[in-house]
């Protein structure tokens, strides 16, 4: 332990420039669970003593555990380590550790202890503290996730990210237990992902290069010019226009990304974006924020359930299908929450006239839409979903909870840009929460006019209490002023169709199309690697998403063959008999995520007869230059026994090779069928969404046609009047 320690003199040199001079010093929340002690020791060993920060350590502890964490950490760090107590004011250069059997929150820099609601079972102390810190510290909040099992801390990091705070995560490959780090990385765009011993230095550098962003910074012409350049780069690669988003919001997000790369000048960051398309993609996702949770802002859902929805459905005819549109649905929690609340309202209304609800949920982020369609969420949703709702509307699974089919079938998810794509119309409910606050007033006004156009007379518009707009309410009556819930009363008087910005360029694909051949260095290591690949490594093929072969290793001719005619280096064309039928389904399934897909006991015909082989197909995640490519690995297995045999011990007949082979084929067919069904379901949802958009466009064209017909009639009438006047004068 002592070998890894830095000397006190060395640590004192690594102070954070300018940070301790701020009126409010940084407070860092650190969440850890299983394997967390080792990670915490490494973290504080590498953290300088006079760093100007306060650290709050939140761990999962047994209620009856006698806390010794302060003593253990005090041996590692020269900073003072305390066990947190109620009403304790946080000081810089100190470490505070949560006591056993307590929940911890913070208000105006003071710690407060609570008795946990759950006596046993799943507790979420990290989420509780991170959310509290995000509310209290706003964009000064800093959250770190270290080794641990489960997903505690993920919801808290989302809250920190929403407030434009800083998020650091231990690299999952270095964590003793990677559950919490992996869950965090999948949920938010972390500012830093690194081994735990590197996190202190990266945090110091991040704070050094990310000066506090003022609430209303003065953006000079040069900064605005560079902001416009970044908007252009985003538009070119993503196809989405951020020109009417609030400049200060964009600036704060860009400042965080600059700090993550230790870039001090915005024009240098523009250059970095030009050279690094991956950073453009990360910035795009960071700007989308994507923060959501089940039944977010409880008061909004209570108003909908107790007042707005009962009044809406009271006079509807028998069998009426209500239509709802959830804008910026992110990973789907908001849409499913609306479906659950609607079900609860129907149960309370005695004569509900067999009403049903169809929800269209849309978002810019296609990755979030894919997560929403699966309807599977981590166990930490118990912080937002009551036990009664969990038992009625969710099914427990190994990964957490899955939304029940009855709720899932009420929602259609689709990627859509509300600013430029045709809207859904004839709506009874429209929710657009925590989106307008990021837009300029001009765009807010356009969207409010669009919402008025999309809603039926008496339809409900839900904006939520986070919205700050005070104008543009024409055509709406307030039902709840605090939660910004409105009822559509009259059609907006704004004439003409709304001219929204559009995507000028299709989204670029950053995956490389050419194989990258590293320069060979003749040496023992290179020769040994070549020998291993040639004699001992299994035969494998690297292909792109279309199946074009980029690289091959091993004796690949046993599994692939050249076909007559024009040379075709595509694995689908070159696959030998037996493998050709199973290949498309395996590749399609592998492209859905980065998990390996294994097809076992495939019988392949060759020039020498037949052989049995296991085929592993996996989409490559790292390194970045090969991301999105697919590796196909062939492993020979012993041939299945062709004749049935009798087990001498039991006397039962064992399955012969032929029957096993047919059973394997039958199982693969079932898996392919299930995969095809899921893809058809996703395609059906997208077609439904497209159909709605086309119907909306058709309605607009019909309306325009009616206006033109009316104008034509008026012109004819005016022409007749002119003729009569002319004849009278004659």
Q: Is there a catalytic annotation at residue 152? A: yes
Tokens 């929690």: give the residue: 333
Distance CA 21, CA 14 (A): 15
Helix axes of 657-729 and 583-590: crossing angle, nearest 10 degrees: 60
Which residues have a Cβ under 8 Å from the Cβ of 594 and sit 6 or more positions away?
618, 619, 620, 621
User: In the β-sheet with 54-59, what is the strand arrangement from edge to edge?
Assistant: 80-83, 94-97, 54-59, 27-32, 141-145, 166-170, 192-194
Please calculate the CA angle 234-235-241 and round it to the nearest 5 degrees. 105
Exactly one of 60, 147, 286, 696 is catalytic; name it. 60
Distance CA 302, CA 294 (A): 13
Distance CA 548, CA 571 (A): 6
Sign (positive/negative) of CA torsion 313, 316, 318, 323?
Answer: negative
Compute CA 719 distance to the chain's CA centroid, rounded to the nearest angstrom: 61
Tokens 């806390």: give the residue: 67
Distance CA 468, CA 498 (A): 23
Q: Is there a catalytic annotation at residue 675? A: no
Q: Is there a catalytic annotation at residue 473? A: no
Exactly one of 132, 141, 147, 152 is catalytic; name it. 152
Q: Per DSSP, which regions of 539-640 are E strands? A: 540-543, 549-553, 597-606, 609-619, 630-637
Q: Which H or E run includes 194?
A: strand 192-194
How would you write 432-487 as a 3-class SS string? CCCCHHHECHHHHHHHHHHHHHHEEEEEEEECCCCCCCCCCCCCEEEEECCCCEEE
For the record, the structure tokens of 613 come out as: 């082989």
Catalytic positions = 33, 60, 152
């Amino acid at each position: 332990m002592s070998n890894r320690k830095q000397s006190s003199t060395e640590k004192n040199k690594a102070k954070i420039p300018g940070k301790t001079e701020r009126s409010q010093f940084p407070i860092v929340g650190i969440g850890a669970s299983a394997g967390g002690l080792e990670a915490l020791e490494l973290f504080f060993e590498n953290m300088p003593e006079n760093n100007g920060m306060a650290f709050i350590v939140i761990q999962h502890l047994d209620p009856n555990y006698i806390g010794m964490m302060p003593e253990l950490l005090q041996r590692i760090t020269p900073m003072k380590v305390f066990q947190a107590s109620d009403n304790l004011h946080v000081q810089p250069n100190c470490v505070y550790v949560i006591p056993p059997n307590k929940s911890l929150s913070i208000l105006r820099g003071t710690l407060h202890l609570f008795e946990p609601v759950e006596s046993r079972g799943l507790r979420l102390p990290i989420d509780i503290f991170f959310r509290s810190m995000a509310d209290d510290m706003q964009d000064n909040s800093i959250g770190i996730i270290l080794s641990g099992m489960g997903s505690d801390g993920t919801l808290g990091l989302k809250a920190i990210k929403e407030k434009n705070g800083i998020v650091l995560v231990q690299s999952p490959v270095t964590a003793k237990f990677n559950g919490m780090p992996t869950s965090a990385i999948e949920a938010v765009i972390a500012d830093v992902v690194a081994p735990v011993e590197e996190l202190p230095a990266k945090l110091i550098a991040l704070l050094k290069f990310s000066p506090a962003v003022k609430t209303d910074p003065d953006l000079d012409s040069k900064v605005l010019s560079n902001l416009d350049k970044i908007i252009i780069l985003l538009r070119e690669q993503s196809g989405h226009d951020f020109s009417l988003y609030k400049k200060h919001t964009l600036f704060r997000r860009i400042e965080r990304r600059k700090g993550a790369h230790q870039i001090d000048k915005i024009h240098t960051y523009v250059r970095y974006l030009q050279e690094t398309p991956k950073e453009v993609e990360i910035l795009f996702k960071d700007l989308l924020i994507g923060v959501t949770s089940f039944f977010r802002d409880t008061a909004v859902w209570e108003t909908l359930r107790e007042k707005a929805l009962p009044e809406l459905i009271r006079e509807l005819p028998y069998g009426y299908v209500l239509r709802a549109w959830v804008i910026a649905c992110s990973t789907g929690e908001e849409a499913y929450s609306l479906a659950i609340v609607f079900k609860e309202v129907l149960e309370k209304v005695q004569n509900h006239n067999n009403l049903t609800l169809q929800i269209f949920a849309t978002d810019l982020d296609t990755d979030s839409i894919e997560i929403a369609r699966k309807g599977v969420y981590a166990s930490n949703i118990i912080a937002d979903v009551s036990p009664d709702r969990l038992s009625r509307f969710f099914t427990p699974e190994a990964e957490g909870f899955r939304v029940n089919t009855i709720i899932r079938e009420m929602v259609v998810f689709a990627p859509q840009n509300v600013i430029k794509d045709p809207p859904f119309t004839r709506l009874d409910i429209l929710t657009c929460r925590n989106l307008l606050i990021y837009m300029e007033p001009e765009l807010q006004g356009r969207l409010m006019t669009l919402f008025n156009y999309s809603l039926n007379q008496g339809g409900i518009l839900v904006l939520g209490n986070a919205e700050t707009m005070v104008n543009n309410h024409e055509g709406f009556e307030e039902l709840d002023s605090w939660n910004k819930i409105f009822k559509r009363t009259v059609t907006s008087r704004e004439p003409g169709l709304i001219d929204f910005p559009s995507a000028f360029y299709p989204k670029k694909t950053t995956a490389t199309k050419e194989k990258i051949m590293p320069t060979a260095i003749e040496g023992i290591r290179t020769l040994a690697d070549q020998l291993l690949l040639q004699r001992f490594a299994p035969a494998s093929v690297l292909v792109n998403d279309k199946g074009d072969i980029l690289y091959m290793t091993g004796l690949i001719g046993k599994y692939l063959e050249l076909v007559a005619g024009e040379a075709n280096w595509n694995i689908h064309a070159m696959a030998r008999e037996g493998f050709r039928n199973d290949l498309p389904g395996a590749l399609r399934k592998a492209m859905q995520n980065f998990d390996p897909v294994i097809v076992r006991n495939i019988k392949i015909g060759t020039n020498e007869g037949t052989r049995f082989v296991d085929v592993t197909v996996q989409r490559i995640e790292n390194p970045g230059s090969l991301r999105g490519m697919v590796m196909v690995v062939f492993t020979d297995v012993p041939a299945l026994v062709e004749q049935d045999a009798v087990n001498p011990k039991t006397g039962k007949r064992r399955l012969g090779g032929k029957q096993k082979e047919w059973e394997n084929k039958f199982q693969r067919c079932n898996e392919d069928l299930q995969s095809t069904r899921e893809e058809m379901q996703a395609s059906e949802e997208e077609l439904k969404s497209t159909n709605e958009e086309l119907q909306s466009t058709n309605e607009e064209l019909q309306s325009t046609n009616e206006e033109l017909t009316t104008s034509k009639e008026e012109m004819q009438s005016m022409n007749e009047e002119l003729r009569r006047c002319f004849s009278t004068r004659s």
